Amino acid sequence: MTGTAAGAGQRADMVRNRRLLLGAATAAFAERGVEVSMGEIAQRAGLAKGTVFRHFASKEDLLAAIMLQLLDRLTSTADRLLHADDAAAALREFMTTGVEALAADRAFCEVVGRPSLQHPEVRAAINHLCDVAEALTARARERGAVRDDVTGTDVVLLLGGIHQTAAPLLAAQPQAWRRYLELALDGLHVPNAGALPEQPPCRLPRHVPEST
Amino acid sequence: MTGTAAGAGQRADMVRNRRLLLGAATAAFAERGVEVSMGEIAQRAGLAKGTVFRHFASKEDLLAAIMLQLLDRLTSTADRLLHADDAAAALREFMTTGVEALAADRAFCEVVGRPSLQHPEVRAAINHLCDVAEALTARARERGAVRDDVTGTDVVLLLGGIHQTAAPLLAAQPQAWRRYLELALDGLHVPNAGALPEQPPCRLPRHVPEST
DNA sequence: AGCTAACCTGACCAGCCGGTCATGTTGTGC
DNA sequence: GCACAACATGACCGGCTGGTCAGGTTAGCT
């Protein structure tokens, strides 16, 4: 699942190196995006390049492992919020956490926003996140806090959009995303709203490679 | 301004090749994004790689020329809409055109959304677009069609955000952006809205290269 | 302590990139 | 139709990338 099987019965130095590697990769992808080289990741971890490829067969696998970690964290946040008292506040907190996570990690944005570089497991994790977000959204919907035809997938997609809106300002105003989150939330619960155009999305489609 | 000076007194085949090159580059950047290679652009144009570098000193220059073209087109659309009767409809049409342009061009999204790859001229053109958008927004604001503290730069930034929201659906629902445009427009003119958090942006900041 | 398999290492490879330049070709003014 | 400058060409360069592997090192068991 996560690169080369990480089962028990491994040498102590190997599990230590694995921790170093995952830490370095997480930081490197966050700062530099998916384009960061395996060489740089190895260097940050204080390991040789070959060692990195011993733990993960390819760059794609390593990236997927890191992304799954981030997605799982977000999903469990959503899970927890499912039991909150105030459904509207819970949805707001979920979106805040989500946009914050995107703002702090370049690779996360790139992977979530571009279907073409999604590992199957990553897509599955995103779809799972959409499911939990749907539950969260449904509760807010029942309480009249969001308009009728907004789905959990809408909410998840909005995370990427909100962050992207603020991205060009990130260096100058690191919190600018709050502005656009508020704007989106206002749009999400306008009282007497007409139905939104286009089909409400349920899951993310599989990516079909371009022609040409 | 646009690569090697494109003044008069040039050989006929050169101006023809230049047209071919610009056409190929426009299509290539739109389909494949900024990562497309100069070799592929040359091939599409039916030219040798060296010829491409005779017309534009670097890939960055070529990209900037294409992006300036797109930005100019959008800016003149906004300029035209400045004289429309219905200010609210004009703003909506501007945003529709903008998001449509982004949805049709990968490189456009990447350049507009990531300050780090902005040529100085491109940033200037974006700022100019923000100015015109501000005029457009001001008119809508006076008529009560958008809330008080929304600037033209907000509107321009929203174009990128709206497109990004729909981007993962692009293959399956090419028009999905209309859904999120409507949502944003609803958010933009909620009647009794409180002030948005964070400073309203005026211009895009210059990009400061990362540390590390 | 000694042995072995598991593990780490870094030189190495092929492939791609942006960019250059000596050479060949061609439009154009006379 | 000639001559020359302007232009096109594609082989070539250095640098970077993801990925491989023969050989050295070491953890852990006996």
The answer to whether B86 and B45 are in contact (CB under 8 A) is no
Supply the pLDDT for residue B86: 96
Cβ-contact A35, A109 below 8 angstroms: no
Minimum-distance nucleotide, CA of A48 to C1': C9
Distance B54 CA to D10 C1' (A): 14
For residue range A37-85, list pLDDT tens digits in order.
Answer: 999 999 999 999 999 999 999 999 999 999 999 999 999 999 999 999 9
Q: What is the 3-state secondary structure (H, E, C) of chain B?
A: CCCCCCCCCCCHHHHHHHHHHHHHHHHHHHHHCCCCCHHHHHHHHCCCHHHHHHHCCCHHHHHHHHHHHHHHHHHHHHHHHCCCCCHHHHHHHHHHHHHHHHHCCHHHHHHHHCHHHCCHHHHHHHHHHHHHHHHHHHHHHHCCCCCCCCCHHHHHHHHHHHHHHHHHHCCCCCCCHHHHHHHHHHHHCCCCCCCCCCCCCCCCCCCCCCCC
Name all protein residues with C-beta less than 7 A from any atom of nucleic acid chain D. A 11-13, 36-40, 49-50, 53, 57-60; B 10-11, 13-14, 17, 47-51, 53-55
Higher pLDDT, B3 or A81: A81
The confidence band for A126, taking pLDDT boundaries of 50, 70 and 90, is very high
| HEC readout, chain A | CCCCCCCCCCCHHHHHHHHHHHHHHHHHHHHHCCCCCHHHHHHHHCCCHHHHHHHCCCHHHHHHHHHHHHHHHHHHHHHHHCCCCCHHHHHHHHHHHHHHHHHCCHHHHHHHHCHHHCCHHHHHHHHHHHHHHHHHHHHHHHCCCCCCCCCHHHHHHHHHHHHHHHHHHCCCCCCCHHHHHHHHHHHHCCCCCCCCCCCCCCCCCCCCCCCC
Contact at CB, A162 and B167, closer than 8 angstroms: no
The Cβ-side half-sphere exposure at B109, using a 13 Å CA radius, reads 27
In this structure, of A17-26, A114-123, A130-139, B35-44, the range with the lowest mean pLDDT score is A114-123
Residues of B in contact with A190 (CB under 8 A): 186-187, 190
pLDDT at A117 over 80: no
Contact B137, A142 (CB under 8 A): no
Confidence of residue A208 (pLDDT cuts 50, 70, 90): low
Q: Are B61 and B3 in contact (CB under 8 A)?
A: yes
Per-residue model confidence as pLDDT tens digits over B158-198: 999 999 999 999 999 999 999 999 999 999 988 766 789 88
Average pLDDT for A113-136? 92
Inform me whether the pLDDT recorded for A102 exceeds 50.
yes
The CA–C1' separation of A4 and D28, in angstroms, is 21
- Higher-pLDDT residue of A195, B134: B134
Mean pLDDT of all residues in A184-194: 85
What's residue A3's pLDDT?
59
Question: Is residue A211 very low, low, confident or very high in pLDDT (cuts 50, 70, 90)?
Answer: very low
In percent, how much of chain A has pLDDT > 90?
Answer: 80
Q: Is the pTM of this model over 0.85?
A: yes
Average of per-residue pLDDT values in chain A: 92
Q: Which of residues 1-40 of A touch B (CB under 8 A)?
A: 31-32
**B74 in contact with A at a CB cutoff of 8 Å?**
no
Place of tokens 């690569």: B3
Residues whose CB is below 7 A of strand C: A 10-11, 13-14, 17, 47-51, 53-55; B 11-13, 36-40, 49-50, 53-54, 57-60
Mean pLDDT taken over chain B: 92
Answer yes or no: do B113 and A164 touch at CB < 8 A: yes
Terminus-to-terminus CA distance in chain A, angstroms? 33
Residues of A in contact with B170 (CB under 8 A): 115
Q: How confident is the model over A147-169, as pLDDT tens digits? A: 999 999 999 999 999 999 999 99
Mean pLDDT, rounded, for A105-131: 92
Whether pLDDT at A184 is above 60: yes
* Per-residue pLDDT, A24: 98
Q: Is B85 within 8 Å of chain A by CB?
A: no
Q: Look up tokens 């060692």; give the residue.
A: A51
Rounded CA separation B155/B188 (Å):
9
Q: What band does B1 get if pLDDT is binned at 50, 70 and 90?
A: very low
Within an 8 Å CB–CB cutoff, is residue B165 touching chain A? Answer: yes
Dist CA A171 CA A176 (whole Å): 10
Decide if pLDDT at A31 tops 50: yes
A167 interfacial to chain B (CB closer than 8 Å): yes
Which residue is closest to B40 within chain A, CA to CA? A212
Phi, psi of A169 (to 5 degrees): -95, -5
Please identify among residues 102-131 of chain A the ones whose CB lies closer than 8 Å to any CB of chain B: 112-115
CB pairs under 8 A between A and B: 146
pLDDT band for position B212 (50/70/90)? very low
Q: Which residues of A touch B180 (CB under 8 A)?
A: 157-158, 161
